Amino acid sequence: MKERWAAATADLLQQFKNNLGGLNPEQALADLKIWVGYSPSHPQIQEVTSVLRELLETHGAIVLPKSKPQGAFDDTLVLEQLKSVDHIAMLAVTPGVSVEALELCNVSKPESDKMFVYMPSEYRDGYICDLLQRRHDSSRIRFFPISTLLEPAFCCKLFWDALEAASMKDRKRKMEPVRTPRIGIITALSKEFRAVEAILGDATPAVSRTANGYRNLVHGTIAAHGGGLHHVVLALAGKGNNKAAIRATQLLQEYGTVEEIFMVGIAAGVPNPKKPQEDVRLGDVVVADEFGVIQYDMIKDKTGKRQYAFPPRPPSPDWVNLLNTRIDLMNSAPTYWRYLDEILSKLSVIRPRKDHLNDSPWQDLSRIIKRPRDKERSAGRPKLHMGPIGSANTVLKRAAFRDALQDKFHILAIEMEASGIADATWEHGKGYMVVRGICDYANDGKNDTWQNYAACTAAAFSRQLIEEMPLRTIHKDPG
């Protein structure tokens, strides 16, 4: 059977060659992600599916390993898989699979246009077939006599539909504009993602479908100092340094043009009431300096001694130098305040009013620590700070430890993703920068009240910072 099916698909490729476009006949299904559903209760279906999978993979298809879910199609894992595929082949050789095909149409309607159902002609007049035809595009139901299940003609039906899906995917890919972003921006939370998306010009949602999964991206632009546009790609990572490192690596692999990655979002601030100019408050912005990220959970614990062992990962010198030369101007003429107002209006976010600091364990919780008067601060507006940022895979809610980190490393903010970004970019020889809006004080009073506003302040300043950078000049050898 295997040899006969292989010969039949070779003949089919010859017939289809005029429709292949730029596809390589040997790898005509290259990168086509396929989900095959079938019922193992039929005595011959296991053999049929095994040979089919091998043929599809031989011609470059990515066949998902999960052949059939247990139970109905409300399985979250299965639905996530189906979102990422390009083609669904449902072998409805028994009535039971026809029922599951119907459930798939009901639960995953946006994906139903990818689905082809291969059904014995004996079921054509049955109740399940009638329901399936009413819920699904009947032109995508392929009938065949059950006696021909092992014949090459049955294989050709499935392979032809896969070829058409691959050809359509190739045509769509050629119609899409070529994206060459120079800056990648990663956020951990969806609220941060929305805030950054609001600062982008020509924001265009995109979907990345690879063997590694399904990802939502946004392409956009930000004006460049001196003229032109910075092309940007925005991605969502999830919480934690590990996820941030994975997403940064994927972004750098997918877009070879990306030179720097920004980690933008919220963080805990490290207050310092004794020094007014360094006193970080809720809603402020902290951006990394030349010391970059301090990974404070990478330690060597010895008897009577704790030694921090994080590797140095300084941010991109281009951005640090820009900040060092223009931070005074950015503070005295903060363009990002105007951008912040635009984002707040666009996302319907209101700045919270209360900013109470009370985290000394020996104090009455009702007492509020008095903050010093800061002549450089404008009421109701964020202030910009530049300094080291602490990072770990830990949600910190302990003021004493926060202050100990400040004493040792002089950190101004604490978060959970920048260390992963620093490691990933360092491994790829790329630069990074971290911009954080302050939403809490890493103490027992930690809550979500300021998160939306802080996400907006980080996004607004990121826009101003990127706008201050001219486009990179490409020097050509005169010889």
What's the pLDDT score for residue 74? 44
Angle, helices 451-468/190-197, rounded to nearest 10 degrees? 40
Helix (H) or strand (E) holding 207: strand 201-210
- CATH number of the CATH domain containing 23: 3.40.50.2300
- What residue numbers bound the domain in which 238 lies? 183-468
Q: What is the mean pLDDT of residues 33-37?
A: 83
Return the minimum-mean-pLDDT range out of 103-117, 151-165, 236-250, 332-346: 103-117
**Is 0.85 surpassed by the pTM of this model?**
no
- Are 227 and 375 part of one and the same domain? yes
Q: Are 47 and 91 in contact (CB under 8 A)?
A: no
Residue 23 lies in a domain: yes
Could you give the CA distance from residue 358 to residue 380 in angstroms, rounded to a whole number? Answer: 20
Asked if the model's pLDDT at residue 209 lies above 60, the reply is: no
Residue 364: the pLDDT is: 56
> Going edge to edge, which strands form the sheet with 87-91?
62-63, 33-38, 87-91, 115-120, 141-144
Classify residue 226: in a domain, yes or no: yes
Residue where a domain terminates, one of 175, 194, 228: 175
What pLDDT, on a 0 to 100 scale, did the predictor assign at position 78?
57
| Residue 431 maps to a domain | yes
Angle at Cα 164 formed by Cα 158 and Cα 169, nearest 5°? Answer: 125
Residues whose CB falls within 8 Å of the CB of residue 95, separated by 6 or more in sequence, listed in order? 123, 126, 128
Is residue 376 domain-resident?
yes
CATH of the domain at 454: 3.40.50.1580
Question: Are residues 77 and 171 part of one domain?
Answer: yes
CA atoms of 119 and 113, how far apart (whole Å): 17
Inter-CA distances, 78 with 50, 208, 355, Å: 20, 18, 45
| Residues 188 and 309 both lie in one domain | yes
Which of the two residues, 451 and 66, has the higher pLDDT score? 451
Q: Which of 290, 192, 203 is nearest to 236 (CA)?
A: 192
Instruction: Identify the pLDDT of residue 477.
Output: 42
In b/e form, how buried is each residue of 402-426, taking b as 16+ CB within 10 angstroms? Answer: bbebbeebebbbbbbbbbbbbbbbb
**Residue 477 covered by a domain:** no
Q: Exposed, middle or buried by CB within 10 Å (0-12, 13-18, 19+), for 155?
A: buried
Question: b/e for 52-87, b at 16 or more Cβ within 10 A?
Answer: bbebbeebbbbbbeebebeeebeeeebeebbebbbb
The answer to whether residues 10 and 156 belong to one domain is: yes
* Residue that finishes a domain, picked among 175, 207, 228: 175
Q: Is residue 478 part of a domain?
A: no
Winning range, highest mean pLDDT, from 31-40, 97-106, 167-176: 31-40
Alpha-carbon distance 288 to 260, whole Å? 14
Structure-block tokens of residue 477: 């050898």
Residue 128 sits in the same domain as residue 215: no
Tell whether 278 is covered by a domain: yes
Give residue 70's pLDDT.
43
Same domain, 163 and 32: yes
Which string of DSSP letters, residue by residue, matches 98-125? HHHHHHHHHH-GGGGGGEEEEEEGGGTT
Amino acid at residue number 273: P
- On the question of pLDDT at 37 being above 90, the answer is no
Partnered with residue 305 across adjacent β-strands are 302
Q: Verify that 191 and 276 share a domain, yes or no.
A: yes
The radius of gyration computed from the CA coordinates of the chain, to the nearest angstrom, equals 28
Q: What is the pLDDT of residue 243?
A: 93
Last residue of one domain, picked from the residues 159, 175, 191: 175
What is the DSSP code string of 212-227?
TEEEEEEEEEEE-BTS
Would you state the pLDDT for residue 101?
Answer: 61
Task: Please indicate, yes or no, whether residues 131 and 274 belong to a single structural domain of this protein.
Answer: no
pLDDT (tens digit, 9 = 90+) per residue, 75-134?
555 555 666 678 888 888 777 666 666 666 665 554 557 888 888 888 888 777 777 777
* C-alpha torsion sign, points 316, 319, 324, 330: negative
Instruction: Check whether residue 159 and residue 192 sit in a common domain.
Output: no
243 and 377 assigned to the same domain: yes
379 has pLDDT over 80 = yes
- Per-residue confidence band for 72, with pLDDT thresholds at 50, 70 and 90: very low
Within this chain, do residues 251 and 116 fall inside the same structural domain, yes or no? no
Judge if 227 and 133 occupy the same domain. Answer: no
pLDDT in tens, 328-353: 888 888 999 999 999 999 999 999 99
Using the structure block, give the residue that is written with the tokens 């620590």.
369
Would residue 316 count as lying in a domain?
yes
Residues 401 and 392: beta-carbon distance below 8 Å: no
Q: For the chain, what is the domain count?
A: 2
In this prediction, residue 88 carries a pLDDT of 85
Q: Where are the beta strands (DSSP E) in 102-200?
A: 115-120, 141-144, 183-187
